[in-house]
Amino acid sequence: DQQVKQNSPSLSVQEGRISILNCDYTNSMFDYFLWYKKYPAEGPTFLISISSIKDKNEDGRFTVFLNKSAKHLSLHIVPSQPGDSAVYFCAAPSEGWGKLQFGAGTQVVVTP
């Protein structure tokens, strides 16, 4: 049973516009969330994270928002660039031992 869900498999956005990626979770015990970015033929790389004590975390063009009551988080990329075209995974730690639960991923395509 997937506890981290990304319901949009793909997203197409024009260069310079905002990309908004959504992630929902079912386990109210989750208190930390991470976003990973993956290019084809490469492993995922860590992008940004947020603790449940915050509702926003910003790093350059990337901002993650957390709405605990709705069990929802989103990643905003502003402005989107062609190099942002990748698959983005939302993840949350579960059951100790450093394990992560990943969502299914959202493929972002940034068009010129």
Partner 1 sequence: DVKVTQSSRYLVKRTGEKVFLECVQDMDHENMFWYRQDPGLGLRLIYFSYDVKMKEKGDIPEGYSVSREKKERFSLILESASTNQTSMYLCASSGLAGVVETQYFGPGTRLLVL
- Phi then psi dihedrals of residue 84, to 5 deg: -85, -10
Of 17 and 99, which CB lies nearer to partner 1 in the complex structure?
99
Least distance (Å) between residue 32 CB and partner 1? 6
97 binds partner 1 (CB under 8 A): yes
| Residue (14 or 28) nearer to partner 1, CB | 28
Query: Residue 97 in contact with residue 43, Cβ under 8 Å?
Result: no
Q: What is the DSSP string of 69-92?
A: TTTEEEEEESS--GGG-EEEEEEE
Residues in contact with partner 1 by CB under 8 A are 2, 6, 9, 32, 34, 41-46, 49, 89, 93, 96-100, 102-105
